[in-house]
Amino acid sequence: MSVSELELERRQILKEYRSLLSVVRPGTELTDRKRIRKAFNFAMEAHKDHRRKSGEPYIYHPIAVAHVCVEEIGLGTTSVICSLLHDVVEDTDYTLSDITEYFGEEVSRIIDGLTKISDIFEQTDSLQAENFRKMLLTLSDDVRVILIKLADRLHNMRTLDALPARKQLKIANETLYLFAPLAHRLGFHAIKSELEDLALKYTDPDIYSSISRKIVESEEERNRFIEDFTKPIKKSLEEQGLNFKVLGRTKSISSIWGKMQKQEVPFEEVYDIFAIRIVIDAPEDREKADCWRAYSIVTDVYRPNPDRLRDWISTPKANGYESLHTTVMSRQGKWVEVQIRTRRMDDVAEKGYAAHWKYKESKTTESSIDKWLYRIREILKTSEKDALDFIDDFKLNLFSDEIFVFTPKGELRTLPVGSTALDFAYSIHSKVGDQCLGAKLNHKLVPLNHTLKSGDQIEIITSIKQKPKPDWLNYVTTARAKGKIKTSLKEERKKIAEDGKEKLERKLKQLKIENTHENIQKLLSYFKLPAPLDLYYDFAIDKLDIKDLKAYLSDNEKGGILSYLRNPFGKSRISNFEKEQIDPIRQKLKEKPDTLLIGDSMEALDYTLSPCCNPIPGDDVFGFVTINEGIKIHRNNCPNAVQLMSKFAYRIVKAKWYTGKSIAFLSGIKIKGIDDMGILNNLTSLISSEYNVNIRSINIDSNAGTFEGNVMLYVNDTQHLNNLIAKIKKIKGVKQVSRIGK
C-alpha cells in the first residue's frame, strides 16, 4: 500500500475509535477513558499486521464489538477494554500474563474466558459439547464473557459476506443452534432477532430476499394503516393524561417466515407482520396501573380477542421480560397485536440483562436472572459425562417458553412449557424428586408424567422407599430433572455393579482367564459395552453369564474377532473409528478438481439423497458423511441442517449438482383447496399427462367441503417443480400449493 493509502486507513481507524468513545457512558471518568485508550493502542499494535477476509484492517472488528457492547447491550468500561483485547491472546504472541500486567486481574479473567470458548465449534462433536459446557461454566462466573461473545458473533454475522459459502453456512447454523437462543434467554430480543435474520440470509437466501422485498414493497401501505389505526388510541391516551409514545414495529424476517411455515400461508396472509407498541413513561410504583389503564383505552377503541391476552406484567418471563400483549380487531377487519409496556420494561425487553443494571431498584427482575444463573450452575453440577446429551437438554430449556405453577402454600414457580409433575418435584429439591411417589394436581391425583399448565397447584407425595427408575427419564423435560435422575441411577448402578464385579472375578478364575485391565478391555469390546461398570452391572443382573464368557473364549481362539472397532460407544474409540471412515472420503474429495458431484455416474463415492428433505437439482445442498451409510445429501435449509452443521462440522463436505444429464428425483407437494367434483381427476391429469411427471404416491383427505393432500412425484430439478406448482395453482378450487419441507 502507498503512504497516502496507509494514512487514509489510519484516519479511518481513528474515526471509528472516536465513534466508540462518543457512545461510551457520558459519566465515564477520565481515568477510565485513559484505560480504554491504552487498550485501543495495545490492540492496534498487536493486530497491526492482521487483516480480515474482506481485506480491511483487523482492528475494525474489536472496535465494532466494543461498539455493540456499549450501544446495543449497555456494558461499561471493563467490557469495552475486554472487547478491544478479546482476540489478542488467541491471535498474537501476547499472553494472559501480559494482559494481567497491563490491565489487571479482572480484565485478564474475562479475556481468558473469551479465549477458552473462541473455538467452541472448531472440534469434533463431543469436543464441541465439552467446550459449550466450559462456556456455560464461565457464564455462571461472569456473564460479561457471554455478552461480549454475543457482540463478537453479531459483528461476525454482519460481515459474513466476505467468507466462502461453506463457511457462511457453518457459522449461520452455529448461530441458530446456540447464540440466538442464548440471546433470547438473556433477554436480548433485538440481538436475537437480528442473529436469526442474518442466519436466514445464508441458510435460505431466496426466502430471505423474497420476504425482505415484500416488506419494502408493502411499507407505504403499512404505514398508512398504522397511522389510521393509532390515531384514535393516541387521542384517548392524551385525554387520560398519560405520557407515552406509540411505535409501529415490523416483525423480524425470521419471525415472519416462522409464521408462514407454522400457519402454512403466504406472506400476504400473515396477519401480524407488524405490532403496535405503546411505551408509557411512568414511575415504578404506577407502572402496572398505567399499563392496565392503557389496555382499557385500547380495548375501548377496538374489540380484543379474549384468547390472545398475555399478561407478563403480573408474572414476568424468566429472562425479565415484562409487557401486556393483546390482539384487537381493526376497523379494516384485520387483527393487530398491541404491546403495552413502560419505558423501563422496554429497555429490559430490548437490552435484556444489561438493562437491569440501569434499574437496580427493581429487585424482581434482578432476582429472576440470578435464579436462572443459579439453575445453570445446578445443571452443570449434576450433568452426566455425556456432553452431547447435556447440550441437547440444555438447549431445549433455552428455547422453552414458561408456565407458572403454584406450590400447596401458594408459592409461584416458573417451569418450561411441557414440564411434568416429576419436573416440578425436582425443581423443589432433588430429594423430593428422588422420593416422588405421585402428585396431586388441584387436589386430584395425577401420574408423574402429567403435563402441567399455567395456574396449576401441585402437591408432591413422597416415600422414603421410592427410588428413581430408568423410565423416569421419559417423564421429564427439564435438564435439571434429567441430570438428577441420571446421577441417582448411576449411583444405584454402581452399588449393583460392585456385586457384579465380584461375580465376574469368580467366573474368570473358574475359566482360568486373568483378571487384567487388558482382558477387561477385550471383554468390553467383545460385548460392545462402553465401560467396566456396565460389564459388572450386566453380570450382576445375570444379563451376562459364564456361557457368554465361554463364547468369548471360543471366538477369541478363532482370532480376528476382537477388533476395537467393535466398540461403537467408547469415547476414545469413536474418534478413531470416525476418522477411519471419514478420512478416505475426504482424501478422495481432495484428489478431485471440485466438490462432490451429485448425479455423476462416474462419481466413485457412495452417496444417497436424504429422505428428511428430499433434495432435487437446483437446491443448495451439502454432504454429510455417515459412519456406515456413505454420504447423505441434505438441503441447506433441511430441518436437520442446523444440528448437523453445528455438532458434526468435521463430517460436512461440499456438494453440488452434476448437470450433465437429466435424472428424475423424488420430491413432494402439499395441496389444499375446495373439494369440488373432478378436482382429483384434474390434478392427476395435469401432473401425469399434460406435464409428463411420474407420481409415486398420492394421499388426499376431504373434510366438510375442503381437501388437503400430499403428492410424491419425480421431477428433474427445482425449476421443473416450480413450474408444476404454478400450473397446479391455476386449477379451479386449488387454494394453496407448497413444496413439502419448504
Give pLDDT, residue 714.
85
Q: How many structural domains are present in the chain?
A: 5
**Which residue type, as a one-letter code, is found at position 567?**
N
Angle at 354 between CA 351 and CA 355, to 5 degrees: 65
CA dist., res. 740 & res. 667, Å (int): 8
The model's confidence at residue 137, banded by pLDDT at 50, 70 and 90, is low
Name 216's Cβ contacts closer than 8 Å, sequence gap at least 6. none
Q: Highest mean pLDDT: which of 15-29, 369-383, 595-609? A: 15-29
* Nearest C-alpha neighbor of 203 from the set 251, 179, 156, 171: 171
Residues 248 and 337 in one domain: yes
294 and 185 together in one domain: no
Q: Please check whether residue 417 lies inside any domain of the structure.
A: no
Has residue 414 been placed in a domain? no
Rounded Cα–Cα distance for residues 152 and 725 (Å): 42
β-bridge partners, 736: 672
Q: Provide the grid cell at 556.
A: 477369541
Q: Are strands 402-406 and 412-416 parallel, antiparallel or unpaired?
A: antiparallel
- Does 561 share its domain with 608? no
What single letter denotes the amino acid at residue 731? I
In a domain, 412, yes or no: no
Interstrand relation of 706-715 and 631-635 (parallel, antiparallel or unpaired): unpaired
219 is catalytic: no
> Is residue 574 predicted with pLDDT exceeding 60?
no
| Same domain, yes or no: 637 and 669 | no
List the domain range (segments joined by +) for residue 331: 212-366
Domain shared by 554 and 615, yes or no: no
Question: Is residue 591 domain-shared with residue 561, that is, in the same domain?
Answer: no
Within-domain flag for 719 = yes
Closest CA to 49 of 102, 84, 79, 6: 6
The span from the first CA to the last CA of the chain, in angstroms, equals: 48
442 inside domain: no
Residues facing residue 460 across a β-bridge? 439
Q: What is the mean pLDDT of residues 38-58?
A: 89
E-assigned strands of 579-705? Answer: 596-598, 607-609, 621-625, 631-635, 652-657, 665-674, 694-703
pLDDT per residue over 279-303, tens digit each?
999 998 899 999 999 999 999 999 9
Q: Give the confidence band of 35 by pLDDT, cuts at 50, 70, 90.
A: very high
| Residue whose cell numbers read 378436482 | 679
User: What integer pLDDT is reported at residue 624 of this predicted model?
Assistant: 86
pLDDT at 648 > cutoff 90: no
CATH classification at residue 320? 3.30.460.10
pLDDT band at residue 702 under the 50/70/90 scheme:
confident
Within a domain: residue 431?
no
* 726 backbone dihedrals φ, ψ, rounded to 5°: -60, -40
C-alpha grid cell, residue 698 = 398420492
Q: 621 lies in a domain?
A: yes
Contact 535, 541 (CB under 8 A): no
Q: Is residue 173 part of a domain?
A: yes
The upper half-sphere exposure of residue 183, i.e. CA atoms within 13 Å in the direction of its Cβ, equals 26
- Least Cα distance to 147 among 120, 176, 187, 108 occurs for 187
Q: Which of 166-180, 315-329, 588-602 has the lowest mean pLDDT?
A: 588-602
Among residues 371, 384, 373, the alpha carbon closest in space to that of 482 is found at 384
C-alpha cell at position 626:
455417515
Q: Say whether both 650 and 694 belong to one domain.
A: no
Query: Are the C-beta atoms of 671 and 728 separated by less than 8 Å?
Result: yes
- Set of cell numbers at residue 298: 385500547
Return the ∠ at Cα 68 (arms to 66 and 165), rounded to 5°: 100
Catalytic residue among 9, 16, 71, 91: 91
d(CA 583, CA 588): 9
For 401, the 3-state DSSP assignment is: coil
Q: How far is CA 470 from CA 56, 293, 462, 584, in A?
A: 56, 52, 18, 40
Return all residues near 8 (Cβ < 8 A) that are at least 6 apart. Answer: none
Indicate if 560 and 575 belong to the same structural domain.
no
Same domain, 627 and 713: no
Q: How far apart are CA 608 and CA 630, in angstroms?
A: 8
Q: How far apart are CA 427 and CA 34, in angstroms?
A: 47
Dist CA 123 CA 388 (whole Å):
13
| Mean of pLDDT values over 323-339 | 91
Cα 546–chain centre separation: 48
Per the prediction, the chain carries an average pLDDT of 80
Cα 715 vs. chain centroid, distance in angstroms?
33
User: CA nearest 712: which of 728, 727, 725, 695?
Assistant: 695
Burial code of 659-680, b = ≥16 C-beta within 10 A, e = fewer? Answer: eeeeeebbbbbbbebebeeebe
Say yes or no: 109 and 229 in one domain: no
pLDDT tens, 184-217?
Answer: 877 788 899 999 999 999 999 999 999 999 999 9
CA dist., res. 455 & res. 437, Å (int):
22
pLDDT of residue 1: 64
Residue where a domain terminates, one of 627, 657, 687: 657
Domain boundary among 151, 179, 204: 204
The predicted pLDDT at position 157 comes to: 94
Residue 66 has pLDDT above 50, yes or no: yes
Q: Give the number of other Cβ atoms within 10 Å of residue 739's Cβ.
A: 16
CATH number at residue 676: 3.30.70.260
Q: In what order do the strands lie in the sheet with 458-462?
A: 444-446, 436-441, 458-462
Q: What is the CATH number of the domain that holds 178?
A: 1.10.3210.10
Taken in order 473, 477, 481, 484, the sign of the CA dihedral is positive
What pairs with residue 51 in β-bridges?
57
C-alpha cell belonging to residue 42: 495495545
> Is the pLDDT higher at 574 or at 601?
601
Boundary-marking domain end, from 609, 630, 657:
657
Contact present, 666 and 696 (Cβ < 8 Å):
yes
User: Does residue 690 carry a catalytic annotation?
Assistant: no
In terms of domains, do 558 and 695 share one?
Answer: no
pTM score, whole prediction: 0.64
Tell me which of 199-213, 298-312, 565-579, 655-669 is least confident.
Answer: 565-579
Higher pLDDT, 533 or 627: 533
Same domain, 24 and 163: yes
Report the pLDDT averaged over residues 80-107: 90
Percent of the chain with pLDDT over 90: 23
Q: Residues 7, 90, 264, 370: which is the catalytic one?
A: 90
> Which uninterrupted H or E stretch holds 42?
helix 30-46
Range with lowest mean pLDDT among 256-270, 331-345, 548-562: 548-562
Percent of the chain with pLDDT over 70: 80
